[in-house]
């Protein structure tokens, strides 16, 4: 039974993440850093760390050193509001929540309604702002600390413009083009946007830690080029793997292909049907073959979803892996179990999402951190 010495999350999947580390020039998130995280937070690590959903980083070692020395750090993440959020969007927020809770640090969540309005030709400003509101409900439902979390919408917390100016004086057109791929037809709002995106990394004079999927890394490289010349820290990051869509293990769950995604506002019944119909498995063509040869969990979206989010218990996940490999578990049974978990999650999320309506004001304006930030934005003679 040599097979089971290896935990499922160590098995090489469809995406070669080691190659991505090389390609992006980042560092692997080592056992040492993960153990240090457990030690410093005196916590049991969440599956995101245990299973290497986070697998790469920049300066996370320095973040931990800053934490240990008492200097501290802060978290920054964001959301581009151009449509409803799906499971792939929200999982990183749960990881971020764990970081906030266990390091007890401030978290800034940038809602980039400006970006989505500018980059999406057909999206109206009104619609973007409406999606901003909808997405904020989903984010609040994750359960962040309302006094240590500031959710801000760029079109509204426009002090971001002032903060972006020194950054916008450091980046020229050709630098921005190299990362964002601009051309002659690019709108001038798009060209300016990289400065807005970088600004929150300077919200505090501490190191900023950005939890993000690895493909987001290039956007932060610009910041790391000039941060120190402005008297701030290069931002740190921990990089996650991709949350795959229902129909493929390659790439990310995509809102533009509705059959690949389960939306947070999907009716649980409908979500179940969608998973049943579209979820890719690693099963054999016939039940007989499945019993004889076993399935391929490393080629299975259903298993991947359990691994990434829906089976928090490591032993149970390993048992599922073993049973699949041994041909004891059919794809139908496995799908049904995933559907049950997803439906339970959606019901709970939707309940919290409803409750979130009453909390928007606190996260955006009146919570401790929000108030503090707005106080800096409103000229003294106009403050309450």
- If the CB atoms of residues 167 and 342 are measured against a second copy, the closer one turns out to be 167
Q: Is 155 in the site for a second copy (CB under 8 A)?
A: yes
- If the CB atoms of residues 176 and 261 are measured against a second copy, the closer one turns out to be 176
CB of 254 to a second copy, least distance (A): 24
Q: Candidates 157-165, 235-243, 245-253, 282-290: pick the segment binding a second copy (CB under 8 A).
A: 157-165
Does residue 306 contact residue 331 with C-beta atoms inside 8 Å?
no
Q: How far is CA 116 from CA 54, 120, 227, 264, 318, in A?
A: 26, 6, 25, 20, 41
For residue 159 the two structure tokens come to 């002090």
For residue 185 the two structure tokens come to 């037809």
Distance CA 92, CA 86 (A): 11
| Tokens 């060209």 -> residue | 191
Q: Is 173 in the site for a second copy (CB under 8 A)?
A: yes
Beta strands 54-58 and 236-240 are: antiparallel
Does residue 55 contact residue 239 with C-beta atoms inside 8 Å?
yes
Distance CA 117, CA 125 (A): 6
3-state secondary structure of 55: strand
Q: Is 125 in the site for a second copy (CB under 8 A)?
A: yes
Q: Is 374 in the site for a second copy (CB under 8 A)?
A: yes
- If the CB atoms of residues 168 and 300 are measured against a second copy, the closer one turns out to be 168
CB of 307 to a second copy, least distance (A): 41
Q: Is 250 in the site for a second copy (CB under 8 A)?
A: no
Q: How far is CA 253 from CA 72, 87, 213, in A?
A: 34, 8, 12
226: DSSP letter: H
For residue 308 the two structure tokens come to 């990434």
CB of 232 to a second copy, least distance (A): 14
Q: Is 169 in the site for a second copy (CB under 8 A)?
A: yes
Q: Is 25 in the site for a second copy (CB under 8 A)?
A: no
CB of 166 to a second copy, least distance (A): 6
Q: Is 256 in the site for a second copy (CB under 8 A)?
A: no
CB of 354 to a second copy, least distance (A): 20
Q: Is 379 in the site for a second copy (CB under 8 A)?
A: yes
Residues pairing with 236 in the sheet: 209
Q: Candidates 67-75, 148-156, 297-305, 311-319: pick the segment binding a second copy (CB under 8 A).
A: 148-156
Alpha carbon 201 to its chain centroid, in Å, reads 17
What φ, ψ does residue 315 adopt, rounded to 5°?
Answer: -65, -40
For residue 163 the two structure tokens come to 């903060």
CB of 44 to a second copy, least distance (A): 38
Alpha helices (runs of H) in 262-367, residue ranges in sequence order: 268-278, 287-293, 301-305, 314-325, 331-356, 360-361
Site string for a second copy, 177-206 (x = CB under 8 A): -----xxxxxxxxxxx-xx-----------
List 85, 90, 109, 118, residue binding a second copy (CB under 8 A): 118
Q: Candidates 7-15, 283-291, 306-314, 375-383: pick the segment binding a second copy (CB under 8 A).
A: 375-383
- If the CB atoms of residues 159 and 221 are measured against a second copy, the closer one turns out to be 159
- If the CB atoms of residues 65 and 191 are measured against a second copy, the closer one turns out to be 191
Q: Is 5 in the site for a second copy (CB under 8 A)?
A: no
Does residue 237 contact residue 198 with C-beta atoms inside 8 Å?
no
Q: Candidates 26-34, 260-268, 344-352, 364-372: pick the segment binding a second copy (CB under 8 A).
A: 364-372
For the beta sheet containing 73-79, the strands, ordered from the edge strand earlier in sequence to the opposite edge, are: 27-28, 54-58, 236-240, 207-213, 73-79, 107-111, 149-153
List 27, 43, 158, 296, residue binding a second copy (CB under 8 A): 158
Contacting residues toward a second copy, per CB under 8 A:
114, 117-118, 125, 154-156, 158-162, 164-166, 168-174, 176, 182-192, 194-195, 361, 364-366, 374, 377-379, 381-384
């Amino acid at each position: 039974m040599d097979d089971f010495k290896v935990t499922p999350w160590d098995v090489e999947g469809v995406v070669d993440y080691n190659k991505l580390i090389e390609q992006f020039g980042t560092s692997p998130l080592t056992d040492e850093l993960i153990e240090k995280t457990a030690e410093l937070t005196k916590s049991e690590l969440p599956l995101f760390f245990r299973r290497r959903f986070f697998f790469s980083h920049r300066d996370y070692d320095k973040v931990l050193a800053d934490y240990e020395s008492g200097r501290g750090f802060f978290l920054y993440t964001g959301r581009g509001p151009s449509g409803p959020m799906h499971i792939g969007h929200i999982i990183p927020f749960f990881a971020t929540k764990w970081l906030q809770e266990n390091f007890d640090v401030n978290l800034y969540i940038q809602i980039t309604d400006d970006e989505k309005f500018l980059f999406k030709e057909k999206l109206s400003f009104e619609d973007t702002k409406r999606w901003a509101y909808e997405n904020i409900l989903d984010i609040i439902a994750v359960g962040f600390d309302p006094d240590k979390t500031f959710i801000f919408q760029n079109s509204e917390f426009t002090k971001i413009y002032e903060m972006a100016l020194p950054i916008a004086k450091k980046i020229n057109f050709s630098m921005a083009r190299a990362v964002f791929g601009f051309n002659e037809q690019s709108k001038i709002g798009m060209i300016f946007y990289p400065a807005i995106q970088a600004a929150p990394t300077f919200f505090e004079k501490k190191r900023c830690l950005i939890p993000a999927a690895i493909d987001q890394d290039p956007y932060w490289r610009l910041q790391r080029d000039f941060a120190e010349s402005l008297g701030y820290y290069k931002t740190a990051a921990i990089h996650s793997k991709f949350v795959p869509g229902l129909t493929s293990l390659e790439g990310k769950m995509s809102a533009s292909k509705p059959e690949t995604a389960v939306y947070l506002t999907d009716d649980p019944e409908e979500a179940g049907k969608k998973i049943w119909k579209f979820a890719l498995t690693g099963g054999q063509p016939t039940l007989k073959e499945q019993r004889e040869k076993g399935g391929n969990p490393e080629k299975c979206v259903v298993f991947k979803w359990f691994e990434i989010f829906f089976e928090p218990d490591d032993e149970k996940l390993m048992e599922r892996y073993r049973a699949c490999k041994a041909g004891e578990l059919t794809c139908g049974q496995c799908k049904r179990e995933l559907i049950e978990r997803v439906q339970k999650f959606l019901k709970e999320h939707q309940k919290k999402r409803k409750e979130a309506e009453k909390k928007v004001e606190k996260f955006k304006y009146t919570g401790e951190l929000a108030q503090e930030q707005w106080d800096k934005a409103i000229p003294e003679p106009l403050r309450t």
